[in-house]
Amino acid sequence: MVNELMFAVFNAAAFGMAIFVVAAGLTLIFGLMRLLNMAQGGFFMIGAYTAYSVMGRDVQSLWMFLLAALVGGIVVALLGLVTDRLVLRRLRNVDPHYVLIATFALMMVCTGVTKLIWGVDFFSVNPPPGLDQPLNPFGMFFSAYQIFVIAAGLVVYIVLELAIHRMWFGKLMQALAADPWMAGVLGLNVSFGIALSVMASFFLAGLAGGLLLPNQSLSTGLGDSYLMYAFFAVIIGGLGNIRGAFIGSLVLGLVQSLNTVLLPSVPGLAIYVVLAAFLLWKPSGLFPAVGAQAEAGAESHGSGALHRPRISRGAWQVLGVATVGVLATLPLWVNAGPLYVVGTVLVQVIFALSWNILFGYTGLVSFGHAGFFAIGAYLAALALRHIAGVPFLGVLAGAALLGAIAAWVIGVLALRRMSGVFLAVLTVALAEALRLIIGFSTFLGREDGITDIPRPALDFGVFRIDLASSNAYYWFLLVATVLITGFLWWLLHSRFGRTLQTVRQDAERAAFMGTNVARYRLAAFVISGAVAAVAGALYAPWSRIVTVEEVHWLASAQPMLNTLLGGVSSFWGPVVGAGLFATITYATRTLVGLSELIVGTGLLAIILLAPNGAVGLWRNVEERLWGRRPRAPAAAEPVKDARVSPVAKLEAGGAR
């Protein structure tokens, strides 16, 4: 029993230190700039590939291994400096929600670059000599490499602790984090301090990639899992706090170790459950950094600049009807491949509209929206597979009800206590927990999913419509998309939708005027979850297969990308974005690496240059062709925060 306990503690320490090595750079950059960098996983991966290029598969010595990890850190630090100059400094006075999505796009760019340079093959690296043999103290076997990881994590923590609290670099960083404007007044070089801190953060990411290389297979998806765990450690410990990240990493390691012992049938599930419970109990973390909670929880205070359409609504209605008419004729003149793509886009339109109810109209962000989509998809798959003659319209209604109930439970527990980054992390944790449950459930098909899903028939008593063929179900999808889109347009342009926009613009003022802000946010969350579940239920018979990948946190990014590409300042933005994204993806589907690179670069360009998306660009064209844009209040700007960052002010002043 004692041996088992010691072994569990050892595994917990090894796993926790591996997480901390990645989380250290993440929390360092947030502590200074309040920038939660989702691209950290991508740069971690680049550091690992760089180290692999230096050392090869069979490293000759421990010193070569350490040198390769150091080279990975230096390369990534230089890339971080370039990234800061091109991207990060432009995000310092941007809404935190957009920062998350912009850095996610940056992660896609990292993935695309990695595929172009190193390919998509899997590689494995053996531990260096001296770390490839087990140790046998007290009659127990311990991995020498895991002991090395524990030691590396402790060294990184001690160095950062001394640097931040004892050295000039740490004093400079703390001054910049507390009050950058005052730091500049006192004569500190703000630009130099920020550049140094950014390079240190990226260096830690690259170094972690090299040091942890023998811990897993090297692939283009390497950074995903470590990024997620690093986020969780930072959230538990407190955003921007090194000590908190260290303790949070150890907590995750202990939870993972206990999960392996007590619940071996579902490994990894306990981490997501514990994180969700912790967020509901203490969303600010164990050791919140100065100003971290306020910044991280900040909400966007704008939903679109004032726009006066130059083309009449009637003309747009004619164009919309014509577009639907053309889509209705597609089965008559295109083959099965493009038809399947268009049908999938119709589903993505509904999915993106559901997400935009939260972000575009309410100012809330869900990074786990794929969970609601999967609820509807699996419900439809199970009903159609196991219940003969089940009414499909009833299945859709059941999916909406189940999605609404799930959203209501989450909303009641979470919306009164958290928003911003914390809500985003909670939703992704719950979605990942659902993914693990599905992946280990035999009834739900485990990793293989549910296949050969039959397409339904609509029985209205007097007549019956068989949707078994692709053409018939495509027409049904088109009709369902038009009806759902029309309903959402009516709902969001009603008094309910206008109230949601008021809440997004200024929740405190809306509450002062008598609006029940919590109730409206909960209602939006419930409606959004219900519509996302309906989208999943429509998708299952169309694709005829539902897998656990439908719940992956990367799948939750799809409605974000579609919405931002089209524009959150317009109801039709997600519709336009879904079509544009599908066109880009389909056109680049055979270009290995270029697809992620093109999409990521395009999304970054939208965030930085055209935050209102394709619809916003069209509105600018309208104003230039037909007249000057009406002057809008400054607070209505959709992306820029009402308060310009002091860091941005100082850097701008220094540039002048």
Q: Which residues of 583-613 are buried (b: 16+ CB within 10 A; e: fewer)?
A: eebeebeeeebebbbbbbebbbebbbebbbb
Measure the CA angle with vertex 72, ends 78 and 292; round to 5°: 65
Work out the number of other CB atoms within 10 angstroms of the CB of residue 31: 27
Q: How far is CA 246 from CA 249, 275, 286, 352, 545, in A?
A: 5, 15, 11, 37, 42
- Identity of the highest mean pLDDT range in 50-59, 140-149, 372-381: 372-381
Q: How confident is the model at residue 160 (pLDDT cuts 50, 70, 90)?
A: confident
Residue that has been written with the tokens 């990184």 in this structure: 156
Do residues 247 and 291 lie in contact, with contact meaning Cβ atoms separated by under 8 Å? no
What's the pTM? 0.80
Give the N- to C-terminal CA distance of the chain in Å, as an integer.
68
pLDDT in tens, 255-290: 888 777 777 777 777 887 888 777 777 777 777 554
pLDDT for position 180: 66
Residues 6+ apart with CB under 8 A from 254: 12, 16
> How far apart are alpha carbons 202 and 80 in whole angstroms?
6
Q: Which of 150, 160, 152 is nearest to 243 (CA)?
A: 160
Least confident range from 174-178, 451-455, 602-606, 608-612: namely 174-178
Q: How confident is the model at residue 291 (pLDDT cuts 50, 70, 90)?
A: very low
pLDDT for position 586: 77
pLDDT for position 354: 93
> How far apart are alpha carbons 504 and 304 in whole angstroms?
11
Strand, coil or helix: 300? coil
Q: Which of 67, 9, 72 is nearest to 44 (CA)?
A: 72
What's the one-letter identity of residue 347?
A: V
Strand partners of residue 458: 465
- 582-587: long-range pairs with CB below 8 Å, 24+: 582/341, 582/342, 582/344, 582/345, 582/348, 586/341
Q: Which of 221, 107, 108 is nearest to 598 (CA)?
A: 108
The mean pLDDT value for 441-454 works out to 85
Show the tokens assigned to 257: 């170790």
pLDDT for position 134: 73
Do residues 546 and 381 lie in contact, with contact meaning Cβ atoms separated by under 8 Å? yes
Q: How confident is the model at residue 480 (pLDDT cuts 50, 70, 90)?
A: very high
> How far apart are alpha carbons 307 and 28 in whole angstroms?
40
> How far apart are alpha carbons 311 and 11 in whole angstroms?
64
Measure the CA angle with vertex 227, ends 270 and 350; round to 5°: 85
pLDDT for position 593: 62
pLDDT for position 529: 94
Dihedral over Cα of 308, 314, 315, 319: its sign: positive
